[in-house]
Amino acid sequence: MKIGFIGLGNMGAPMAINLAKDHDITGFDTIAQPDGIAMATNAAAAAKDADVVITMLPNGDILRAVADEIHPAMKPGAIHLDCSTVDVQSARAVATQAETHRLAAIDAPVSGGIGGATNGTLTFMAGGPDAAFAKVKPLFDIMGQKAVHCGAAGNGQAAKICNNMILGVTMIATCEAFVLADKLGLDRQAMFDVVSTSSGYSWTMNAYCPAPGVGPQSPADNNYQPGFAAELMLKDLNLSQMAAEAADADTPMGQAATALYQQFVESEDGKGKDFSAMLPRFESRRRG
């Protein structure tokens, strides 16, 4: 395929490099110039004549602005595959706009972080038409290990937002439980051995344990250098609460997690640390 790739930052660049092994890639980014990718002078030039244009952008406002630029330049029948994590409303608005230009749109945010992008092991949560999903499925197979078609436009974003709201809430609960165990005199390894094989089992405990030296290797064992930064968790939690407000959904745990991560990132020392650094944050606090 001839592919345009717009947004070649920490995630987009390795994704594009993996695709370039098998496809003709033309990239564009306002800052990055990754090796091995032919670069266009602007987004519209990267999109021109492409079968698929992939975008990996920071937020919904930028996605809408880029869509305004690239959709008129894309050939009829082409697919706009957006892998950004943005609000559901922006994803659906871009999909509707694509239709007016006789294009198809798929929103497919990713899970797996920079390591997954580099190693081609991302998970994609996709929303959009069946036929368009089928056409881009071979690209998902190169960039990732799993792609789930979640339904209509915007449903990929909905799945990502719901997943990461669960992730944020469970990480906080896991960190709180470790600190409570410490104060009750329960050894962390014993805590892990019990919880990881009983009803407290969770991804945040079993696969990404926030306690250093316990469980599989995780950012906790590297001084909480980010695998998934706390500010990115805050972004996703904010998106979850925007969606909850728009859908009139009661999400008190999601709301509480958003407030805690906002405090951690904006008022404490959480920015630039992994989202599991909530554990030392709770260690330093008393019941208040």
Cα 107 off chain centre by: 12
Q: What angle do CA 137, 143, 146 make, to 5 degrees?
A: 60
Q: Is 48 a catalytic residue?
A: no
Active-site residue (options: 160, 183, 235, 273): 160
Burial of 45: CB neighbours in 10 Å, binned 0-12, 13-18, 19+: middle
Q: Tokens 């094989």 label which residue?
A: 197
Burial 170-202 (b: 16+ CB within 10 A, else e): bbbbbbebbbebbeeeeebeebbeebbeeebeb
Question: Catalytic positions, please?
Answer: 160
